[in-house]
Chain A
Amino acid sequence: MGVEKRTASEKADFKRELTDVVPHLRAFARGLCGRADMADDLVQETLLKAWAAQERFQPGTSMRAWTFVILRNAYLTDMRRNRFRGEYDETVAERILTAPAGQEEPIHLSDMHRALLTLPPERREALLLVGAGGFSYEEAANICGCAVGTIKSRVGRARAALNTMLAEGAIPRRSLDDDTAHRAILEELDDVAAGQGVTARN
């Protein structure tokens, strides 16, 4: 293999960092694929892959970014096999966002989630990474294996689309069940997959 075996203490460090990042992997996966059970399957797959590939992880770098690349690639592979249809998780609908003071209409998490799932996957993932995950544009570009400008543009378009949808209350219901929409998404996925995550290859 040419890679030195990790010591027991290095493996323990790796496992601790991997454990710490699991809640973030679940949140990212849930945002990407919509359904909690499928998202968790994806995270489990990611954890096994990360563990098997631990000798490629550079200690001191971001475990979250490294594992997000693995999760993202697993998601893209599964998506192509038609496992995920961006299905919407009804249990999320029970949670309501607290409206800010002076605001009449609270935004429901369910609306937010549904709106998110109507975005093309490349924009959805960019928005999740930057808007929810708190990654910088540079980090997000690294995770997605594309240029910083591309990420900025995807985030900008995603924000504009969500602004319009949520402001007008025009969130399509379950539009992703539609076959045409699904095909369009799969076509876009090919573009997304073309930018393989660079972090994984380090």
Chain B
Amino acid sequence: MTVDSSSGHKPVPGSGKEAKHEGKDRPDWTNGLRRLYDSVVEEELPDSFKDLLSQLDTKD
């Protein structure tokens, strides 16, 4: 996982609770959106990507 993803969790001045993912009055779908994204992030990488990445070095 990338480290920079944590930056969005910090409260942004002037934006109040909107920039945070945590919070009591957050609607369920905010969590759902996050899960939708995370469910893809957590998928095992298909072989086609491993192949492509391993071929990159030869493309130069």
A residues bordering B, Cβ < 8 Å?
11, 15, 18-24, 26-28, 30-31, 40, 43-44, 47-48, 51-52, 62-65, 92, 95, 97, 100, 103, 107, 109, 112-113, 115-116, 127-128, 130-139, 152, 155-156, 159, 162-163, 166-167
Contacts and interface: CB of A to CB of B under 8 A. Distances in A.
Nearest to A64: B2
Interface string B24-46: 00011111111111111111011
Contacts of A47: 49, 52-53, 56
B49 to A, nearest CB: 6
A70 B29 CA distance: 28
Contact of B33 (A23, A112, A139): A112
Interface in B1-24: 1-2, 4-10, 12, 15, 18-19, 21
B6 to A, nearest CB: 7
Given A44-B52, A131-B30, A31 B36 contact: yes
Interface of B: 1-2, 4-10, 12, 15, 18-19, 21, 27-43, 45-46, 48-49, 52-53, 56-57, 59
A107 B19 CA distance: 22
B29 A64 contact: no
Contacts of B53: 15, 18-19, 22, 47
